[in-house]
A and B are shown apart, each in its own frame.
Chain A
Amino acid sequence: MGNNPSQLEKEIGSVQLPANEHYFGLVNFGNTCYCNSVLQALYFCRPFREKVLQYKQQQKNQKKETLLTCLADLFYSIATQKKKVGTLAPKRFVTRLRKEYELFDNYMQQDAHEFLNYLLNRVAELLQAEKQGNKGKNGENHSKPEPTWVEELFQGTFTNETRCLNCETVSSKDEDFLDLSVDVEQNTSITHCLRGFSCTETLCAEHKYYCEVCCSKQEAQKRMRVKKLPQILALHLKRFKYTEQLKRFTKLSYRVVFPLELRLFNTSDDAFNPDRMYDLVAVVIHIGSSINRGHYISIVKSEDIWILFDDDIVDKIEASAIEDFYGLTSDLQKNSETGYILFYQSRE
């Protein structure tokens, strides 16, 4: 699918391509598309890219190689290319990744979401360690560490509210998240999936809740709502579901539509920024029928055009073609191309 880079350049014409932007496909080192697709998506989350490039500037003479320095080198390499479109081999990054985390140290297809999770946490950890002057290496500090720019960009907060049905007292507990994993249903929207996430749950029978005020177990209602909306909202669609019968993960190819513009409905009353407007900036797409087979690609928004990255292939697509990645309304086809991780960036 798609054109080679030079054709792309010819087709869109360098005039139309945003100035100072570079579109470089990444070579696949044997099932590393899970990595390539997430890296491209993150590169086009502009605030994230800027932070990584800033890090590169600050760490010019760093000797020790980490996953973060490899990432920074890769991003720097893309950003400083002479050509607008081309191909790069993220060799050092992939080698480093395989060295650091044994789960990825093979040639099997991996879960892109797991990789995203690992990458963000690892980068945050490295930054934290640097802040602490390499003292608390594994983040074992007892005082709450100051947020790094990973948290500043991706971290949001839920509030877990429990209302005792006897005394009406509401107790709430806050929890941070770097991304939200949502259950998917057939023929729904991401908005609906997010709402499902905040459905009210009644705690009764053996699940009764111990109310501090009543000093006894009581029926209660529980719900989770977003209290702090992150700057970059990463939404993971739980498309891989473990089926007992088959003893394996099966893919839910349900059609879940996602708009280019998004606001959240499931915010708490005391949310700092409940009306935050988000724009879709990148989507990691899973192609195929199961978690361990198939392929990952990504589509990203650059200024007002949409670019598709399929490993080393770069292609321009129409915004209307995003529709092809919502999923399937019937089970007849097995090979689906479905949105898997959505990156929404706050407009403010």
Chain B
Amino acid sequence: MAVQGEGGGKDDIKTHFMTREGTYRLMPLSEYSKPTRLTYNGQTNTPSKVSFIDVNDGTGSPERICFNVGRELYFYVYKGVRKAADLTKPIDKRTYKGTFPTCHSFNKMLVSSESVQLLVGFTAGQIQLIDPIKKELSKLYNEERLIDKTKVTCIEWIPGSTNQFLVSHASGQMYVYNEDLQCGPTPPHYQLFKQGECFAVYTCKARSTRNPLYRWVIGQGAINEFAFSPCSRYLAVISQDGFLRVFNYDSMELVGSMKSYFGGLLCVCWSPDGKFLVTGGEDDLVTVYSFHEKRVVCRGQGHKSWVTAVSFDPYTTIVCEKDSCDTSANEEDRLQNNGGLSEKLDCNNSEGSLSFPNGLHQVNSNNDSYSYNKANPNSLHNNNSANVYITSYRFGSIGQDTVLCLWDLTEDVIKQPLGRLRTSVVMTNSAHGISSLKCNSVPHSNSTKSNSISNDVSAMDGHAYAIGNSTMNTTTKFATLSLVDRKEHQEKKEHKRNFSLAGRSSDKTNNLKSNHIRPPDDAIKLLGTQICPRLKDVPILEPLVCKKIAAERLTDLKFQEECLVTTCQEGIVCTWARPGKVGLTQQHTVNNQQTSDNGTIV
């Protein structure tokens, strides 16, 4: 075995990778970092995060980028894949003492070329609102740390609001602030406002309205991230206790939840249509959760360490027209006839249109070859968007293993449990050590020497259960696999026992080797349910791309129209041009607008 050098050796760090739509290339000149880069000493332990905003200033580079590195925060013009970054001239740079920036968010409602509003959260719990263009604005919240002393883990403007924002902390609490209100000189007094399973919402008791407006207490342990659904109605929150919890934000009701296989969940992202959520966590897995069906759809295995960021790529998601997709149409009907899916397509209907970015590429379902490059940016607007149906979702994930993975969530995986037994993802023995996955999959009778195992995945009847319902409807059916069948019968029994709180003592009479003695523990109780299925009960995805792309652990991932952007612990922001989008020239004074698509890579 080769001895690995620093970060596993520089040589095996990839600068390009292939997918079926083409080659993604690292743009070395589009690298953003501190202007003067010192040797990384491994000291900063706040992950570097990236935020983008389009200021629409009428120039060729309307995008602005913000990222944090150690105690510093940078704000640059983001020139994308076509022009080199100019690191000598940040629009704004701030250095903080005693507290480090952890996360940031732009207000998308109040943007102009002269002014943007940027929220910044810090390790000691404080929050700052700044305008990195005008530079006049600077407001502090939780300055005296009377509201929360722990690290800010995630910060977002509440969608559709110009002055309210939500902040989560390592304490396991989230607060709603109003930008215009004071935080008060004393610690706030709270009054219970709403309560549910594993969460409570409090209002601030004070004579005059003050910050925070609300306090949410969720689960156990730190809240690591949260995300509003594309329709703004739902809020997904992930925690160190391993739970994903989805709330109806306005009614403050828990409408869905999921548990990691083990360990904390570290990141979450909604699919562009709001139907799915993908999470990443300390189990080294990405997990796809169907929000409408309230079940884990599949897990993805490819990372060698914890997954630090996940993101759907709306630009590579494949859509087709509904009426030309017979199977999809059937599926729709099937879904609509299912009583358990009351939340279904709520997102879309409420808005009247899907909120895809302009670049969403449309693929005619009759066309076998995927064509990504000739898409008309306006095609979605010309269609009745209700007729658009997504057949394949693309998402990416990055981790502490310095690896980028890309995944395709395809129809056959999504539809797996709806009454049909299908053969699922074929796991080939790839170079990523995935082969050992076989450990947990039941060997198929046809499995051959070739080392690839087709993992028969059991069919479930697709009855999603309502979360408020006390009797969990886990009427899981397993048709073909006798082994699974047997275990699952036991499982069913156990659920009943668990929920009726009976029969525990009889369990204990089982022989010692049995693992079926279960204390009233959430994580163990949930295993085998649709919230936390056993490994062999859901398909296991294999990444279509799995590449080591950095020397340091990766900390953030964003999909842009022309590129994908990654950043790592060292605070180096890398731009990866999408296929056909390479156009970087070093002379950015001339021809800056009309660079051809076949420029050379330097």
Contact surface of A with B, Cβ cutoff 8 Å: 165, 168, 183, 185-189, 191-192, 195-196, 198-200, 221, 223, 225, 228-229, 243, 254-255, 257, 259-263, 265-269, 272-278, 320, 323, 328-333, 347-348
Contacts and interface: CB of A to CB of B under 8 A. Distances in A.
A262 B263 contact: yes
Contact of A272 (B402, B435, B442, B515): B515
B262 interface: yes
Nearest to B527: A275
A348 B527 CA distance: 13
Contacts of A189: 282, 284, 304-306, 400-401
B535 to A, nearest CB: 7
Given A347-B521, A348-B517, 6 more contacts: A196-B436, A200-B435, A255-B400, A257-B305, A257-B400, A277-B523
B126 interface: no
B31 interface: no
User: Which of B305, B483, B553 has the most chain A CB within a 10 Å cutoff?
Assistant: B305
State the 6 A-B residue pairs at the shortest beta-carbon distance, nearest first.
Answer: A273-B515, A259-B263, A259-B282, A192-B304, A272-B513, A189-B305
Nearest to B513: A272
Contacts of A331: 5-6
Contacts of B517: 348
Interface stretch (B40-48, B52-60, B70-78, B231-239): B40-48
Contact of A269 (B222, B443, B569): B443
User: Is chain B's interface secondary structure helix, strand, loop, or mixed overall?
Assistant: loop
Nearest to B403: A187
B451 A200 contact: yes
Given A262-B263, A265-B440, A273 B513 contact: yes
A263 B262 contact: yes
Given A186-B4, A187-B7, A332-B42, A223 B283 contact: no
A263 B261 contact: yes
B449 to A, nearest CB: 5
Contacts of A269: 439, 442-443, 483
B4 A274 contact: no
Interface string B231-256: 00000000000100000000000000
Nearest to A226: B439
A328 B433 CA distance: 23
A200 B436 contact: yes
Interface string B507-522: 0000001110111010
Contact of B7 (A186, A198, A229): A186
Nearest to B282: A259
Given A185-B4, A266-B439, A332-B39, A259 B262 contact: yes
A272 B305 contact: no
29 contacts: A165-B449, A183-B1, A186-B8, A187-B8, A187-B304, A187-B553, A188-B305, A189-B400, A191-B284, A192-B284, A192-B433, A196-B436, A199-B436, A200-B429, A223-B436, A225-B439, A254-B4, A255-B400, A259-B262, A259-B263, A259-B264, A263-B261, A265-B437, A269-B442, A273-B513, A275-B534, A276-B515, A330-B6, A332-B39
A257 B7 CA distance: 15
A328 B42 contact: yes
Given A259-B263, A323-B45, A329-B42, A277 B306 contact: no
Interface in B450-495: 451, 483
A261 B262 contact: yes
B513 A228 contact: yes
Given A192-B401, A261-B263, A198 B436 contact: yes
A221 B263 CA distance: 32
B524 interface: yes
B296 to A, nearest CB: 15
A275 B6 CA distance: 35
B170 interface: yes
B515 A275 contact: yes
B552 interface: yes
B422 interface: no
Contact of A329 (B306, B451, B524, B553): B553
A199 B435 contact: yes
A221 B429 CA distance: 13
Contacts of A265: 436-437, 439-440, 535
A266 B305 contact: no
Contacts of B8: 185-187
A17 B112 CA distance: 54
Contacts of B222: 320
B438 interface: yes
Contacts of A333: 41-42
A182 to B, nearest CB: 13
Interface residues of B, number: 56
Nearest to A260: B263
A159 to B, nearest CB: 11
Nearest to B442: A269
A243 B513 CA distance: 42
Interface of B: 1, 3-8, 39-42, 45, 170, 222, 242, 261-264, 282-284, 304-306, 400-402, 429, 433, 435-440, 442-443, 449, 451, 483, 513-515, 517-519, 521, 523-524, 527, 534-535, 552-553, 569
A260 B1 CA distance: 29
A185 B400 CA distance: 12
Contacts of A274: 440, 515
Contacts of B514: 272-273
Contact of A195 (B436, B524, B527): B436
B564 to A, nearest CB: 21
Contact of A198 (B1, B439, B442): B439
Nearest to B263: A259
Nearest to B261: A263
A277 B524 contact: yes
Contact of B401 (A188, A221, A259): A188
Contacts of A195: 433, 436
Given A261-B523, A269-B443, A330 B305 contact: no
Contacts of B6: 330-332
A275 to B, nearest CB: 6
A348 B518 contact: yes
A272 B512 CA distance: 10
A187 B400 contact: yes
Nearest to B43: A333
B319 to A, nearest CB: 35
A221 B283 CA distance: 27
Nearest to B307: A189
Nearest to A331: B6
A68 to B, nearest CB: 24
A254 B401 CA distance: 11
Contacts of A168: 449
B98 to A, nearest CB: 18
A323 B433 CA distance: 26
Contact of B304 (A188, A200, A221): A188
A148 B45 CA distance: 45
A187 B439 CA distance: 23
Nearest to B524: A277
Q: Most B CB atoms within 10 A — which of A187, A200, A257, A277?
A: A187
A209 to B, nearest CB: 14
A192 B517 CA distance: 28
A347 B282 CA distance: 18
A272 B490 CA distance: 13
A257 B45 contact: no
B433 A196 contact: yes
A187 B262 contact: no
B440 A267 contact: yes
Nearest to B483: A269
A312 to B, nearest CB: 29
A280 to B, nearest CB: 10
B568 to A, nearest CB: 10
Residue among A196, A200, A267 with the highest chain B CB neighbour number at 10 A = A200
A149 to B, nearest CB: 12
